[in-house]
Structure 1
Amino acid sequence: MLNQQQSNVQERTLVSLSVEAPCASETTENPLYQNSIPHSTDQITPNVLKNIEQLPHLVKAYENLPSHIQSSILVDLLERSNKSTLQFVNSLIMPVLKCDFLVSLPYELKLQVIGYLDVRSLCTASRVSKIWQLVIEGDKNTWLRLLQQDGFDLPDPSFSDLSAKQLKMHYRHQYILKMNWRKGRFKRIEFEGHKEHIVTCLQFDDHKIVSGATDATINIYDTKDPTAPYAQLQGHAGGVWALQYLNNTLVSGSIDRTVRVWNIQKRKCTHIFKGHTSTVRCLEIVEPVMVDGRLQPSQPLIVTGSRDFSIRVWTLPDVEQVHDEPFIGEGTNPWFKFLLVGHSNPVRSIAAHGNTLVSGSYDNTVAIWDLEKGRMVHRMEGHTSNVYSVVIDPIRQQCMSGSMDMAVYVWNLVTGECLHKLDGHSNLVGLLGLTPRHLVSASADRTLRVWDASTGVCEHVLAGKHGHEGAITCFRHDEEKVISGSEGGLKMWDIKTGRYMYDLVSRVEGVWWVAFDKSRCVVSIRTREGTSFQMLDFLAYEPE
C-alpha cells in the first residue's frame, strides 16, 4: 500500500512538470485527476473543469516557492479541507514519517533493547510491527528473564528444552494465575468435614486433602472429585492433634499418646510407636538436606513433642512393606533413636532443619537440640510465659519464638543468645510463619504483624477497618500475600504493602485451618451445620 501511494505521488510529480495545460478531454481521461473529479456527473460543472485544468500550473508554481510559503499554503489548504480529505492526506503522510529504528539494528542489539522492557511494554511493542513481534516472541532468554524477574516458577521438565513460544505460554499461564489471586477470581469447591468436631491439622497436594480432627479420625479427600466418598483412617483412640505426610507415608500423633505411621494409598496403618505418656501435641518429618557438604540427617526422621515434657526421635519407616498387622513399638523398637529430655512443661512447638531441632515449651524456654547426637545444645531463657510457636531460619542461623507474654524473640542458633525482642502485640502470640524475606506473627489481639526477617523491623500491622474481629486462629504466607483466619472468615493481605485485599470466606462461625499452594487454597471452616472444607481453585476460575 505504501509503495503504491509513493508511486502515485511520483506520478503526480512527473505530470506536474508539464509546461502546457491539458485540454478538458485530456484532463478527464488522465488517471492522476480521476480521483479528483466527483463521481456524480451532476457536479461536473464548467467551473470545476476549469479549476482542474489549472492544477499542473499550480503544482509547478508551488514547487518553486520557498519552504515557509509552501507551509503557509498547505495550512490554508488543510483548513479549507473536509474531514474525508484530511483523513486521506493523513494516510499518505503517516507511513512516510514513521521510522522503525529496530529494523536497522543488528539482532544482538535488538535483544539488548527489548531486555529493558517489562512484560506490559513488551506486549505493546510486539504490536508495533511484525519484526518487533518476531524478535520478542522468538527469544527464549526474554521469557526466562521475565519468569525469574517476576518470581514465577520455571517450567518442568528442564526448561532448556522448551521453545520461546512454550516459555511465553508458561509465562502467560503464571501471569494469569497471579492476577486471579490478586483479583479474587477462583472456583469454590466444597467437601464434607468432620461433622461437629474441630479440625486440628491439615495438609494437601494436587491429588488429596488429608485432615485430622478431635473425632480421632484422619480423612483423605480426592481433590479431583469432590463428590467422591472420602477415605477415613481409623485407629487412634483420641483426637488427632498433629499429622504430616511425605510421599506415600503419613505420620500422625494423638491424645492417645501414640504415633501412627500409615500407607496412604493402601489406607493402612503399618506402625504404631509408643513411648509418650501424654498427648502428642506436635510432630515433624525431618527430610535430609545438604548442610556443610553432607546430608543431614542421614535418613528421614520423625520428631514428636508431647505434653509429657519430652521429645522423641524415630527413623521414618518404609511403609511399602505392609503386613497384616501393624508393628507395635512396645519395648524394643528398631526405629527409635532418641529421647530428648530437658523441658519441665509440655512441648508445644517444634521446627527442624538438618540435624538442628528447635523446641518451644510451656516452661517459658526455647531449646536447641542436635539430632545427630541426641542432646541439648542451648536452652534459651527470656520469655516470661508459655512459648506457643517456634520457627527456624537456617539461612541466617536463627530461630524465632512467640509466647503468651506477647513478645517474639529472635535467637542465634549457634550461640543461643537473644538477638532481638519484637514487641507490639497486646496478647498471646500463638502463631509464627517464616519465608526468606518475612517473619509473620499472629496474635489473640486480632492482628498480624509482618517483620523484616533480617532486621526485625516491623513493616506492617494487618488490622484496621477490614481487620479480623477475633483472635487469629490460623494463617499462611508467602512473599506475595498473607491469608489469615479467625471468627467470621478468611482474609487476604498484600504482604509488601500491608493492604487488605479481600475476603476469601465470610459469614462463618470459625476458621480452623488454612493452607495454600501456587494455585489453590484449602480452608477448614465451622458453620451452624458443622465443619467443612472449601478448596478455592484460582487455576480453574471460569468467567461468568
Structure 2
Amino acid sequence: MSISNDAGHFFQSSAALATTERKSAKSKNKRGDPIQFSSKILAILNDPDDEGVLFVAEAAGEVKKVIVDVLKTGKVTKVFSEGTAPLTCLAVCRKTRTLFAGCWDKAIYAVDLRDRKKAARKFVGHADFVKCLLATSLNGKPVLISGGADSVTIIWDSETGERLHKLQGHTKALQDLAIDPLSLPDGSDEPGDSFVLFSASSDPQIRRWHISLSSSYESAESLDTPILAHDTSVYKLCFDSDGDLWTASADKTAKHLVRSREWEADTVLQHPDFVRDVAVAERLGVVATACRDEGVRVWDLASGKVVCTYDGHFEEVTGLAVAGGNVISVSIDGTLRKWGLRRADIERYLEEVEKETKDDETEDIKKDGGGGGVLTAEEEAELAELMDED
C-alpha cells in the first residue's frame, strides 16, 4: 500500500485549506528580491570580516554563503553540506576563520573557511539539540560558547574541541548568547582575560555569567535578581552602542531594556505573534523585528512606532541580519529577502504595495464583469426602506 505525505490527501478544516491556498498564492510574490533555497532556513549570520557576506543555515544540513551586493542575481556558494540533521545556529571565529554550525544531532561542526577541502571537525558534548553559538576569545585564545536544548552552556577551546567549562542555571532550552560590551577593555571589541556573558532561554529569565579561561560561573547579581522582562521564552539578545539591551520574545513583544534603570523596559514593541529576532540599525534610526506572522517590521527608534511592515515571506521569519542600508530576512519558507531601511527605500516599497493593491482591485472588478460590489435596483430599494424604518 502506498503512503502519501501530500496534505491534499488528508482531511483538512476549512481554515487549514484557506491558509494553504493563501500561502500558495503568496509564495509567487517577488518582494524583497527573494533567493530560493532548497530547504527551510533556520539561521542567518553576518561574516564579521565582510559586511557584504552572509551565511545561512538550512534544515537540509547545509550552510551557504550569500554575497549581499548580488542578491538580485542569486549568487550562492555552498560552504558545508555534511550535516546529518537541521542546522540551527552559526558562529564565525575571526582569528582562525572557522565557521561553526550547531545541529539537531547534538553536535557542532567546525569548518575551515580558508581551506574548505579540510574535513569538518565535530564537537560533541550536549545531550540535546544545539540551539545557539558565540565565537570569541579570551586572552587572545579562540573560544566557542554553545547553548543547548539540554539547558546547558558549554565553553570550548575552539581550536582543539576541548570542553573548558559547563554551566547550568536555566531550566529550559537556551535560545541566545551575547557578550556585554561594557565588560570588554576600553576601545576594544575583543575580550581580555574575562567578560560577562548574557544568556536567554525558553524560561523567561535572562542570566549573567563571568567567563574566563580558569573559571566560569553565574554572577552574584544574576543569582539574586535575574533579568525578568518577558512572560515567556526570550529568543534574541542584542546590545546597542550604549550597552542597553534589545530583546525578542514569544510573549509577542520586542523590548529595549535600560541598564541604568536596572534593565527596565522603556520601549515595548507589540506584535500579533511571537517575535523571533530583533536587529538594530542605530545609524539609520530604526530597529527591525522578525515575527511568526510572516512580517518584517521596521520601527522608529525615537518614537517606538512602526514605520513599515515588509510583507513577502509566506511562512514564519526566523532571522535577520543588517547589511549596509538593508535588513536581510530568512524564513522557513526557504527564501532569503532584502528590505531597505532607509526612509526613501521604505517610501518606495509602500508606493509599490499601494499600486499593487489598486491593480488587484481593478482586476477583481474586471473578473466580476464590472459590477462587483454594486447593488441592484431592487437591493437599493430594500436598503432605502430599511434605513427609513430605522
TM-score, length-scaled by structure 1:
0.43
After superposition, residues 71-82 of structure 1 pair within 5 angstroms as none
- Tell me, in whole angstroms, the C-alpha distance in 1 between the residues paired with 2:68 and 2:287: 31
After superposition, residues 93-112 of structure 1 pair within 5 angstroms as none
Structure showing greater Rg: 1
- Tell me, in whole angstroms, the C-alpha distance in 1 between the residues paired with 2:275 and 2:220: 32
Taking a change above 3 Å as real, the CA distance of residues 303 and 183 of structure 1, as seen in their structure-2 partners, is same
1:193 aligns with 2:82: yes
SS where residue 395 of structure 1 aligns?
Answer: helix
After superposition, residues 404-415 of structure 1 pair within 5 angstroms as 404-413=292-301
Unaligned runs of 5+ in 2: 1-49, 52-66, 351-390
8 Å contact from structure 2 (residues 286, 341) kept in 1? no
| Alignment match, 1:437 | 325
After superposition, residues 353-432 of structure 1 pair within 5 angstroms as 353-354=240-241, 355-371=243-259, 374-413=262-301, 417-425=304-312, 427-432=315-320
Q: Say which of 229, 240, 249 aligns to 1:342.
A: 229
8 Å contact from structure 2 (residues 209, 219) kept in 1? no
| Alignment match, 2:168 | 274
Deviations 1:2-44 (A, max 9, x none): xxxxxxxxxxxxxxxxxxxxxxxxxxxxxxxxxxxxxxxxxxx
Taking a change above 3 Å as real, the CA distance of residues 444 and 335 of structure 1, as seen in their structure-2 partners, is same
Which residue identity lines up with residue 154 of structure 2 in the other structure?
A: R
Taking a change above 3 Å as real, the CA distance of residues 296 and 268 of structure 1, as seen in their structure-2 partners, is closer
| Alignment match, 2:346 | 457
1:263 aligns with 2:157: yes
Q: Say which of 137, 144, 150 aligns to 1:250.
A: 144
| Alignment match, 2:122 | 232
8 Å contact from structure 1 (residues 398, 412) kept in 2? yes
Which residue identity lines up with residue 102 of structure 2 in the other structure?
A: G
Give the total of aligned pairs.
273
Which residue identity lines up with residue 293 of structure 2 in the other structure?
A: D
Which residue identity lines up with residue 428 of structure 1 in the other structure?
A: E
1:308 aligns with 2:198: no
8 Å contact from structure 1 (residues 450, 460) kept in 2? no
Which residue identity lines up with residue 392 of structure 1 in the other structure?
A: V
Taking a change above 3 Å as real, the CA distance of residues 359 and 297 of structure 1, as seen in their structure-2 partners, is farther
8 Å contact from structure 1 (residues 284, 351) kept in 2? yes
Q: Which has the higher contact order (CA 8 A, sep 6+)?
A: 2
Taking a change above 3 Å as real, the CA distance of residues 390 and 333 of structure 1, as seen in their structure-2 partners, is closer
8 Å contact from structure 1 (residues 240, 255) kept in 2? yes
8 Å contact from structure 2 (residues 110, 122) kept in 1? yes
How far 1:243 moved relative to its partner? 0.2
After superposition, residues 455-534 of structure 1 pair within 5 angstroms as 455=343, 457=346
Taking a change above 3 Å as real, the CA distance of residues 413 and 193 of structure 1, as seen in their structure-2 partners, is same
8 Å contact from structure 1 (residues 368, 377) kept in 2? yes
How far 1:302 moved relative to its partner? 1.9
After superposition, residues 15-164 of structure 1 pair within 5 angstroms as none
- Tell me, in whole angstroms, the C-alpha distance in 2 between the residues paired with 1:234 and 1:178: 33
Which residue identity lines up with residue 359 of structure 1 in the other structure?
A: T
1:318 aligns with 2:212: yes
- Tell me, in whole angstroms, the C-alpha distance in 2 between the residues paired with 1:181 and 1:448: 9
Which one is further off, 425-434 or 351-360? 425-434
Instruction: Give the structure with the higher percent strand.
Output: 2
SS where residue 420 of structure 1 aligns?
Answer: strand
8 Å contact from structure 1 (residues 314, 335) kept in 2? no
| Alignment match, 1:73 | none
How far 1:283 moved relative to its partner? 1.8
How far 1:213 moved relative to its partner? 0.9
8 Å contact from structure 1 (residues 449, 458) kept in 2? no
Deviations 1:113-167 (A, max 9, x none): xxxxxxxxxxxxxxxxxxxxxxxxxxxxxxxxxxxxxxx99xxxxxxxxxxxxxx
Unaligned runs of 5+ in 1: 1-151, 154-176, 322-326, 462-544
Deviations 1:474-520 (A, max 9, x none): xxxxxxxxxxxxxxxxxxxxxxxxxxxxxxxxxxxxxxxxxxxxxxx
SS where residue 212 of structure 2 aligns?
Answer: coil
Which residue identity lines up with residue 207 of structure 2 in the other structure?
A: R
Instruction: Give the structure with the higher percent helix.
Output: 1
- Tell me, in whole angstroms, the C-alpha distance in 1 between the residues paired with 2:300 and 2:127: 40
SS where residue 457 of structure 1 aligns?
Answer: helix
Which residue identity lines up with residue 279 of structure 1 in the other structure?
A: A
How far 1:451 moved relative to its partner? 3.2
Which residue identity lines up with residue 457 of structure 1 in the other structure?
A: I
